[in-house]
Amino acid sequence: MAEQVRDIKRRIRSIKSTQQITKAMEMVAAAKLRRAQEKAIAARPYAREIQDMIQRLLPAIDTIHPLLTPRKEHRVCYVALTSDRGLCGGFNGQVSRYTQLLLAQHQENAVIIVGRKGRDYFRRRGYRLLAEFVAVGDEPTVAQTREIAQALLDLYNKNLIDEINLVYMEFVSAGKQRPAVAKLLPLEVQPASEESEHDLLLDYFFEPEPEAVLDMLLPRFIVGKIYSALLESKASEQAARMIAMGAASENALEMIDQLTLSFNKARQAAITKELSEIVGGADALRG
Protein backbone atom coordinates (compact mmCIF):
# COMPACT_ATOMS: atom_id res chain seq x y z
CA MET A 1 0.00 0.00 0.00
CA ALA A 2 2.65 2.49 1.05
CA GLU A 3 4.58 1.46 -2.03
CA GLN A 4 1.65 2.37 -4.27
CA VAL A 5 1.47 5.79 -2.62
CA ARG A 6 5.15 6.36 -3.28
CA ASP A 7 4.75 5.28 -6.92
CA ILE A 8 1.97 7.75 -7.52
CA LYS A 9 3.97 10.49 -5.87
CA ARG A 10 6.90 9.77 -8.14
CA ARG A 11 4.70 9.87 -11.23
CA ILE A 12 3.21 13.20 -10.20
CA ARG A 13 6.66 14.63 -9.77
CA SER A 14 7.76 13.37 -13.18
CA ILE A 15 4.70 14.80 -14.93
CA LYS A 16 5.18 18.11 -13.18
CA SER A 17 8.70 18.43 -14.50
CA THR A 18 7.49 17.53 -17.99
CA GLN A 19 4.82 20.18 -17.66
CA GLN A 20 7.44 22.74 -16.74
CA ILE A 21 9.30 21.94 -19.94
CA THR A 22 6.22 22.12 -22.16
CA LYS A 23 5.19 25.39 -20.55
CA ALA A 24 8.63 26.87 -21.17
CA MET A 25 8.59 25.64 -24.77
CA GLU A 26 5.18 27.19 -25.27
CA MET A 27 6.45 30.57 -24.12
CA VAL A 28 9.64 30.36 -26.16
CA ALA A 29 7.61 29.43 -29.26
CA ALA A 30 5.32 32.41 -28.65
CA ALA A 31 8.31 34.77 -28.53
CA LYS A 32 9.86 33.21 -31.65
CA LEU A 33 6.53 33.38 -33.45
CA ARG A 34 6.38 37.12 -32.87
CA ARG A 35 9.91 37.53 -34.11
CA ALA A 36 9.24 35.47 -37.25
CA GLN A 37 6.13 37.52 -37.97
CA GLU A 38 8.03 40.78 -37.58
CA LYS A 39 10.72 39.59 -39.94
CA ALA A 40 8.15 38.42 -42.48
CA ILE A 41 6.47 41.83 -42.45
CA ALA A 42 9.80 43.66 -42.70
CA ALA A 43 10.74 41.56 -45.74
CA ARG A 44 7.60 42.39 -47.71
CA PRO A 45 8.62 45.74 -49.30
CA TYR A 46 11.63 44.18 -51.06
CA ALA A 47 9.63 41.38 -52.68
CA ARG A 48 6.93 43.84 -53.73
CA GLU A 49 9.31 46.43 -55.18
CA ILE A 50 11.27 43.84 -57.17
CA GLN A 51 8.05 42.50 -58.65
CA ASP A 52 6.86 46.00 -59.56
CA MET A 53 10.19 46.82 -61.14
CA ILE A 54 10.10 43.68 -63.29
CA GLN A 55 6.64 44.68 -64.49
CA ARG A 56 7.82 48.12 -65.48
CA LEU A 57 10.84 46.64 -67.19
CA LEU A 58 9.11 43.94 -69.25
CA PRO A 59 7.62 46.26 -71.91
CA ALA A 60 11.16 47.29 -72.81
CA ILE A 61 12.27 43.68 -73.36
CA ASP A 62 12.10 42.20 -76.86
CA THR A 63 13.68 38.81 -76.29
CA ILE A 64 12.11 35.94 -74.38
CA HIS A 65 13.80 35.26 -71.07
CA PRO A 66 14.28 31.57 -70.20
CA LEU A 67 13.19 32.09 -66.60
CA LEU A 68 9.88 33.54 -67.77
CA THR A 69 9.07 30.94 -70.41
CA PRO A 70 7.10 27.77 -69.67
CA ARG A 71 8.71 24.67 -71.19
CA LYS A 72 7.21 21.87 -73.23
CA GLU A 73 8.79 19.15 -71.11
CA HIS A 74 7.31 19.04 -67.70
CA ARG A 75 9.42 17.64 -64.97
CA VAL A 76 7.92 19.36 -61.95
CA CYS A 77 9.98 19.83 -58.81
CA TYR A 78 8.48 20.45 -55.38
CA VAL A 79 10.52 22.16 -52.70
CA ALA A 80 9.03 21.30 -49.31
CA LEU A 81 9.81 23.61 -46.40
CA THR A 82 9.86 21.65 -43.15
CA SER A 83 11.50 22.20 -39.77
CA ASP A 84 14.66 20.82 -38.25
CA ARG A 85 13.08 20.15 -34.90
CA GLY A 86 9.92 18.38 -33.87
CA LEU A 87 7.42 18.91 -31.07
CA CYS A 88 5.38 21.16 -33.29
CA GLY A 89 2.17 19.20 -33.68
CA GLY A 90 1.13 18.28 -37.20
CA PHE A 91 3.38 20.88 -38.86
CA ASN A 92 5.90 18.60 -40.56
CA GLY A 93 3.45 15.79 -41.15
CA GLN A 94 1.09 18.07 -42.99
CA VAL A 95 3.69 19.56 -45.35
CA SER A 96 5.28 16.18 -45.99
CA ARG A 97 2.02 14.37 -46.69
CA TYR A 98 0.84 17.17 -48.93
CA THR A 99 4.11 17.10 -50.86
CA GLN A 100 3.83 13.33 -51.18
CA LEU A 101 0.40 13.72 -52.76
CA LEU A 102 1.76 16.26 -55.25
CA LEU A 103 4.65 13.96 -56.10
CA ALA A 104 2.30 11.06 -56.72
CA GLN A 105 0.58 13.02 -59.51
CA HIS A 106 3.32 12.30 -61.96
CA GLN A 107 6.13 9.80 -62.13
CA GLU A 108 8.75 12.30 -63.18
CA ASN A 109 8.06 14.74 -60.40
CA ALA A 110 11.09 15.48 -58.27
CA VAL A 111 11.48 16.62 -54.69
CA ILE A 112 13.82 18.91 -52.79
CA ILE A 113 13.63 19.22 -49.02
CA VAL A 114 14.45 22.01 -46.62
CA GLY A 115 14.56 20.84 -43.00
CA ARG A 116 15.63 17.67 -41.20
CA LYS A 117 12.13 16.42 -40.42
CA GLY A 118 11.01 16.45 -44.03
CA ARG A 119 14.26 14.90 -45.18
CA ASP A 120 13.88 12.03 -42.73
CA TYR A 121 10.25 11.55 -43.76
CA PHE A 122 11.07 11.19 -47.45
CA ARG A 123 14.24 9.19 -46.92
CA ARG A 124 12.35 6.66 -44.82
CA ARG A 125 9.91 6.23 -47.68
CA GLY A 126 12.69 5.68 -50.17
CA TYR A 127 12.40 8.90 -52.17
CA ARG A 128 15.42 10.20 -54.00
CA LEU A 129 15.99 13.82 -53.03
CA LEU A 130 17.28 16.09 -55.77
CA ALA A 131 18.78 18.30 -53.08
CA GLU A 132 18.40 18.89 -49.36
CA PHE A 133 19.05 21.81 -47.06
CA VAL A 134 19.12 21.24 -43.31
CA ALA A 135 19.99 23.28 -40.23
CA VAL A 136 18.30 26.43 -41.45
CA GLY A 137 17.73 27.42 -37.83
CA ASP A 138 15.04 29.54 -36.24
CA GLU A 139 15.97 32.65 -38.16
CA PRO A 140 16.67 31.94 -41.82
CA THR A 141 19.21 34.34 -43.31
CA VAL A 142 19.32 35.87 -46.75
CA ALA A 143 22.69 34.18 -47.28
CA GLN A 144 21.10 30.76 -46.68
CA THR A 145 18.27 31.72 -49.00
CA ARG A 146 20.72 32.67 -51.73
CA GLU A 147 22.36 29.27 -51.45
CA ILE A 148 19.00 27.54 -51.93
CA ALA A 149 18.03 29.89 -54.77
CA GLN A 150 21.36 29.29 -56.54
CA ALA A 151 20.97 25.51 -56.32
CA LEU A 152 17.42 25.71 -57.70
CA LEU A 153 18.46 28.01 -60.54
CA ASP A 154 21.32 25.67 -61.46
CA LEU A 155 18.98 22.67 -61.66
CA TYR A 156 16.52 24.69 -63.71
CA ASN A 157 19.10 26.14 -66.07
CA LYS A 158 20.60 22.69 -66.67
CA ASN A 159 17.13 21.52 -67.75
CA LEU A 160 17.07 18.88 -65.02
CA ILE A 161 13.72 20.28 -63.92
CA ASP A 162 11.21 22.38 -65.83
CA GLU A 163 9.06 23.82 -63.11
CA ILE A 164 9.70 24.60 -59.45
CA ASN A 165 7.06 24.97 -56.76
CA LEU A 166 7.43 25.77 -53.10
CA VAL A 167 5.32 23.74 -50.68
CA TYR A 168 5.06 25.27 -47.25
CA MET A 169 2.71 25.88 -44.35
CA GLU A 170 0.83 29.07 -44.96
CA PHE A 171 0.34 31.15 -41.83
CA VAL A 172 -3.37 31.95 -41.53
CA SER A 173 -3.39 32.74 -37.82
CA ALA A 174 -1.64 31.57 -34.67
CA GLY A 175 -4.27 28.85 -34.43
CA LYS A 176 -4.46 27.94 -38.10
CA GLN A 177 -1.88 26.97 -40.72
CA ARG A 178 -2.47 25.12 -43.95
CA PRO A 179 -0.28 23.65 -46.68
CA ALA A 180 0.13 25.89 -49.71
CA VAL A 181 1.89 25.66 -53.08
CA ALA A 182 3.53 28.65 -54.75
CA LYS A 183 5.07 28.49 -58.20
CA LEU A 184 8.63 29.74 -58.30
CA LEU A 185 9.82 28.96 -61.84
CA PRO A 186 9.06 29.70 -64.59
CA LEU A 187 8.20 33.07 -63.10
CA GLU A 188 4.69 34.25 -63.58
CA VAL A 189 4.69 37.99 -63.38
CA GLN A 190 1.27 39.14 -62.36
CA PRO A 191 -0.54 41.63 -64.57
CA ALA A 192 0.36 45.20 -63.82
CA SER A 193 -1.66 46.96 -61.15
CA GLU A 194 -3.25 50.30 -61.94
CA GLU A 195 -0.44 52.22 -60.33
CA SER A 196 2.30 50.49 -62.29
CA GLU A 197 0.13 50.70 -65.41
CA HIS A 198 0.63 54.41 -65.11
CA ASP A 199 4.37 53.94 -64.74
CA LEU A 200 4.49 51.92 -67.94
CA LEU A 201 3.72 55.11 -69.78
CA LEU A 202 6.96 56.62 -68.55
CA ASP A 203 9.83 56.39 -70.94
CA TYR A 204 12.63 54.79 -68.97
CA PHE A 205 16.35 54.98 -69.54
CA PHE A 206 18.25 51.82 -68.74
CA GLU A 207 21.85 51.32 -67.82
CA PRO A 208 22.94 48.65 -68.58
CA GLU A 209 20.44 47.62 -71.31
CA PRO A 210 17.02 46.32 -70.20
CA GLU A 211 17.92 42.64 -70.76
CA ALA A 212 20.92 42.95 -68.44
CA VAL A 213 18.81 44.69 -65.80
CA LEU A 214 16.27 41.87 -66.04
CA ASP A 215 19.09 39.39 -65.48
CA MET A 216 19.92 41.26 -62.28
CA LEU A 217 16.32 41.43 -61.12
CA LEU A 218 15.10 37.87 -61.70
CA PRO A 219 17.48 36.00 -59.36
CA ARG A 220 16.76 38.61 -56.67
CA PHE A 221 13.06 38.16 -57.17
CA ILE A 222 13.49 34.44 -56.59
CA VAL A 223 15.56 35.05 -53.45
CA GLY A 224 12.85 37.39 -52.17
CA LYS A 225 10.15 34.80 -52.81
CA ILE A 226 12.00 31.94 -51.14
CA TYR A 227 12.95 34.15 -48.20
CA SER A 228 9.32 35.18 -47.67
CA ALA A 229 8.19 31.55 -47.81
CA LEU A 230 10.91 30.49 -45.36
CA LEU A 231 9.87 33.18 -42.89
CA GLU A 232 6.21 32.29 -43.23
CA SER A 233 7.01 28.63 -42.72
CA LYS A 234 8.96 29.55 -39.58
CA ALA A 235 6.03 31.55 -38.23
CA SER A 236 3.74 28.59 -38.89
CA GLU A 237 6.17 26.20 -37.21
CA GLN A 238 6.39 28.31 -34.08
CA ALA A 239 2.63 28.78 -33.99
CA ALA A 240 2.09 25.03 -34.32
CA ARG A 241 4.64 24.40 -31.58
CA MET A 242 3.06 26.96 -29.31
CA ILE A 243 -0.37 25.35 -29.67
CA ALA A 244 1.00 21.80 -29.33
CA MET A 245 2.95 22.67 -26.20
CA GLY A 246 -0.03 24.52 -24.75
CA ALA A 247 -2.15 21.41 -25.24
CA ALA A 248 0.59 19.26 -23.69
CA SER A 249 0.69 21.51 -20.62
CA GLU A 250 -3.09 21.22 -20.32
CA ASN A 251 -2.95 17.44 -20.54
CA ALA A 252 -0.23 17.35 -17.92
CA LEU A 253 -2.38 19.40 -15.60
CA GLU A 254 -5.27 17.00 -16.11
CA MET A 255 -3.07 14.00 -15.38
CA ILE A 256 -1.70 15.63 -12.27
CA ASP A 257 -5.25 16.24 -11.03
CA GLN A 258 -6.23 12.63 -11.62
CA LEU A 259 -3.07 11.28 -10.06
CA THR A 260 -3.46 13.57 -7.04
CA LEU A 261 -6.93 12.13 -6.57
CA SER A 262 -5.60 8.56 -6.76
CA PHE A 263 -2.78 9.54 -4.46
CA ASN A 264 -5.19 10.83 -1.81
CA LYS A 265 -7.39 7.76 -2.18
CA ALA A 266 -4.42 5.44 -1.78
CA ARG A 267 -3.14 7.39 1.19
CA GLN A 268 -6.61 7.31 2.80
CA ALA A 269 -6.85 3.58 2.18
CA ALA A 270 -3.43 3.02 3.71
CA ILE A 271 -4.36 4.99 6.84
CA THR A 272 -7.69 3.18 7.15
CA LYS A 273 -5.97 -0.15 6.80
CA GLU A 274 -3.36 0.71 9.40
CA LEU A 275 -6.03 1.94 11.78
CA SER A 276 -8.12 -1.19 11.43
CA GLU A 277 -5.00 -3.30 11.99
CA ILE A 278 -4.23 -1.42 15.21
CA VAL A 279 -7.82 -1.68 16.36
CA GLY A 280 -7.86 -5.35 15.40
CA GLY A 281 -4.61 -5.92 17.30
CA ALA A 282 -5.91 -4.15 20.35
CA ASP A 283 -9.10 -6.19 20.25
CA ALA A 284 -7.12 -9.40 20.06
CA LEU A 285 -5.01 -8.41 23.07
CA ARG A 286 -8.05 -7.51 25.08
CA GLY A 287 -9.81 -10.73 23.91
Partner 1 sequence: MAEAQAGHRLFKMEIITPERVVLEEEVEGVVLSSPEGFFGILRGHAPFIGGLSIGVLKYRKDGKLHWIATDNGVFEMSENRLRILADAAERGEDINVLRAKEAYDRAKQRLGQRYEDLDHLRAELALKRSLARLKAASGGV
Residues that bind partner 1 (CB under 8 A): 39, 42-43, 45-46, 49-50, 53, 56-57, 142, 145, 199, 202-208, 210, 212-213, 216-217, 220, 223-224, 227
Q: Which residues of 25-46 are buried (b: 16+ CB within 10 A; e: fewer)?
A: bbeebbebbebbbebbeebeeb
The residue (of 91 and 227) whose beta carbon lies closer to partner 1 is 227
Stated length of the chain: 287
The residue (of 42 and 172) whose beta carbon lies closer to partner 1 is 42
Q: Classify residue 89 as left (phi > 0), alpha (psi -120 to 50) or beta.
A: left
Question: Which residue in 74, 59, 30, 24 sits closest to 185, CA to CA?
Answer: 74
**At 170, is the secondary structure helix, strand, or coil?**
strand
Residue 77 falls in the annotated catalytic set: no
The residue (of 195 and 283) whose beta carbon lies closer to partner 1 is 195
**At 159, is the secondary structure helix, strand, or coil?**
coil
Q: Which residues contact 281 (CB under 8 A, 6 or more apart)?
A: none
User: Phi first, then psi: what are they for 238, rounded to 5°?
Assistant: -65, -35
Catalytic residue among 33, 88, 231, 239: 88
Quick one: which H or E segment has residue 182?
A: strand 176-185
User: Phi first, then psi: what are they for 159, rounded to 5°?
Assistant: 65, 20
Distance between CA 103 and CA 110 in Å, rounded? Answer: 7
Active site residues: 88
